Amino acid sequence: MKPTVPHTVPSWSEIYSGSRVGEAGQSTIWQKRLEYAWDIIGGKYRFGMLGLPHTYPAKLINGWWVAGYPATLKMTVDVCFPKSIRERMDGYEFSIVEEYKIGSWAVRTMNAFDEVTGRNDEIVNNQIRLIKELYEEEPVEVLWVQFSFVDHLLHLIGWEDFHPFIKETTEYIYSKLDSVVEELYRHFQPKTLFICSDHGHPKPFQHHPEGILGVYGVHINDDVELTVNTCDLLPTMLYLLDIPRKLQGEVIYELFQSHNITEEDDEIMKNQLKKLGYIE
């Protein structure tokens, strides 16, 4: 997936709005009023979001909202909606970097590496616990969550090409991400699942304009490979959710299986054709 602008904040703006930020004249989500995913989807479905970057302060929403990095070292009540969620966020962290404001120099021993990744495990488990709790109390039909640790750990360790733990960090990040996706998938059993990143992190680990988009679900083609833009994600989600909206981004129609004719449909069609005398 390719953003039209290759950096974090405007990339997320494109993902949330389905519009190209340059043309929309905005570079952060609050700068100019556009409709965002939570407004549009929330108009029809209950919407839950947690950890989405740059979504502080939380706004009134049809569902629940816990802002993501860098919301908030302050942890004011504005980090979430409804505000009552704040009471159960003691000890909650938005990211590993909130605590480890250190350079890669600090993670040069195996002990330090274990400490950082161990602490990250705790933070991520806390985030997953909160997602499950909120959902249990107030189920939503669309759930959008984001984990900043992939980006942040690569920044922490990866400023140098030859950091001693680059290999271990990369392995840790991707196996952790894999287990997080598995856990959430098993728990929520979504009909459709989108996995996206706003940018990539090739070696040396700094931002690269190309990120990924993976889509799984009913009627999704599983063997198609495409290059799409970040602003195409929301229109595609809206298409699946049956919410018509004209946005700058486009629906990625190639993702969907063209015609899924079931045996039952086939039988009905044959009977029709028999009646009409086309077949015997």
Residues that bind Zn ion (CB under 5 A): 151
Tell me how far, at minimum, the Cβ of 72 lies from Zn ion, in Å. Answer: 17
Residue 121's Cβ-side half-sphere holds a number of Cα atoms within 13 Å equal to 10
- Whose Cβ is closer to Zn ion: residue 61's or residue 97's? 97
Tell me how far, at minimum, the Cβ of 53 lies from Zn ion, in Å. Answer: 9
Dihedral sign computed on CA atoms, order 144, 211, 27, 234: negative
- Whose Cβ is closer to Zn ion: residue 151's or residue 232's? 151
- Whose Cβ is closer to Zn ion: residue 160's or residue 267's? 160
Tell me how far, at minimum, the Cβ of 224 lies from Zn ion, in Å. Answer: 28
- Whose Cβ is closer to Zn ion: residue 34's or residue 177's? 177
- Whose Cβ is closer to Zn ion: residue 15's or residue 41's? 15
Residue nearest to Zn ion (CB): 151
Give the whole-angstrom CA distance, residue 280 versus residue 273. Answer: 8
Tell me how far, at minimum, the Cβ of 7 lies from Zn ion, in Å. Answer: 8
Tell me how far, at minimum, the Cβ of 113 lies from Zn ion, in Å. Answer: 20
